[in-house]
Structure 1
Amino acid sequence: MKKSILLIFLIAILMFTVYAVYDEDDDSTTSFPSTSLEENVSDMGSEDAINAVLSNDLCENIIMDSVPCLQQETAGKKDLSDFLKAETPETTGVLRVQEYVTPYADAVQKYLKDEDLDDADEIYETAVSWIWVSDNTLNDQPDGWLTPTEFLQDTPDFDSNPMPGEIVSDCTEQANTLASLLIGSGEYDEETLRVVMGQVTSSNINGGHAWVEVYEDGEWFPVDATVGPYYDDDLGEVIYPDNYQDIDFDYFRNENYSVIEIWYYYNNEYILDVSSGTGDVPDNWYSVPSGYY
């Protein structure tokens, strides 16, 4: 009897210790282990809603086959945070990351004209044709940032470009440039379009990623340019995913998009640090797409 009581006492201590360690390690983001992001957002204030993150347990139980092949190679959350802090200007009030969304740059406007891109559907169809190439291959570093001008005009002639003549780079350049084209075309403005940096999961990746969100009919939905062709470093050739051309601008309006965590929202005018909730942004920026899980 005494041994049984002692055993129960020891188990209770162990359970309390595990709980205490978990609670201490928990960060400022809100975790939803058993319900959807949409359900939780409906019960939260605006600043809390944007801070939502899904648990790994929930993501592991989701069938990912319906999610297209995504390509990622952006810095981790800490590396990106360090980059932003190191590059914060003292006088302009614009973080350097915002300088990579340039809707009114000559190269962006020229690309819209040369490719005869009149609407969001045409812009997205062209963006999906860009070839994803890792930063390690193209820039000889884990995470190298290029402006939309450099991406559109210069990468076809990079000596390191494995597909000479083609516009290439990773998810960061593709997201920033897609955002620039959509704003620069007049299809959206700075209040209704933003670049997202965070962590996603799909059948082929689980890590840092950059994509775009657009705001229509009172809600956001994601748009991702990296569902198209990508250069496989191991095979030394471009891979064209099955049926990627069937993915249109509105695809993720009705399909789930596998977000684990959102780090930053930004464009050339606004920026929001999701972890801290800091940033001067429009009220609609404090909501997230209902298709995130």
Structure 2
Amino acid sequence: MFIHFEVITDAPTTQTRFHCNTVSGHACTIKDFIGGGGQGEVYRADLDGKALALKWYFSEQATPAQKINLEALIRAGAPSAQFLWPMDLVLDNYATASGFGYIMPLREPRFKGIVDLMKRRIEPSFYALSTASLQLAQAFLELHAKGLCYRDISFGNVFFDPNSGDIQICDNDNVAIDDGMAISGVLGTPRFIAPEIVRGAAVPSTQTDLFSLSVLLFYLLHIHHPLEGQREADIKCFDLPAMTQLYGINPLFIFDPTNKRIIRCAVFTTTLWNTGRCIRLFYATLYSSVYGWFARSAGTHSGK
């Protein structure tokens, strides 16, 4: 279902109101600005009395390839309820598609960003963090099972309820088929991009998604990046060459037991070994999974 985008000027109040009209006659009113990013801006909208969000692309981002991808995602439908999936395409002119956006479900206020956790604006329990971790793993498993890759797993795209651990995943318009042919489009967010992509040796795929997910889970549970250890602290000028070396050419997991320079954090050790059996088991499993991934990656990237 396509939506026609129309601007109506309210002369008496000198304000501009935005309205969307579907081909089948559904009316959508754009209420207010929510936020913006590199691709476009997001607005709060009302469609037949239901609160939704509308993302409108900047002109340079409104490419034919992006539009084709959006249409495919709308036809495919969301892998699970956690994804705030594109629902309808919005056009600025129904006859010509010179600009466009899409409508998606609106994120509930109870869901907070990972940045809120990093800055201690929220203090979720370990139960909530572990629930969020498990739900994230399950959600991306369901996405990958459909032959799709997310391409940009990072802080800005994942939200969770600090009380229950429930998650929501946004910015799903960059999801694409995992066919190994993605030579353009989004490559990811710095610090979350897989080393092989940083080095220019690969394109986004389900496998590189797993790397980004590992980094995100590590941030959730340790409030830190898994590659930023003593070597990162030794860098005098953290410029692009230094970042490429740390995150791409020579990545090293900070808890790699074969690394003689490892500095074992007392907080990590206490959390890992001196808590209850259930928590130890969960952490040990996660530790093994994350370490295994980084060990395989490091071996691949260092030529071992």
Do they fold alike, i.e. is TM over 0.5? no
TM-score, structure 2 as length reference: 0.25
State the TM-score, normalized to the length of structure 1: 0.26
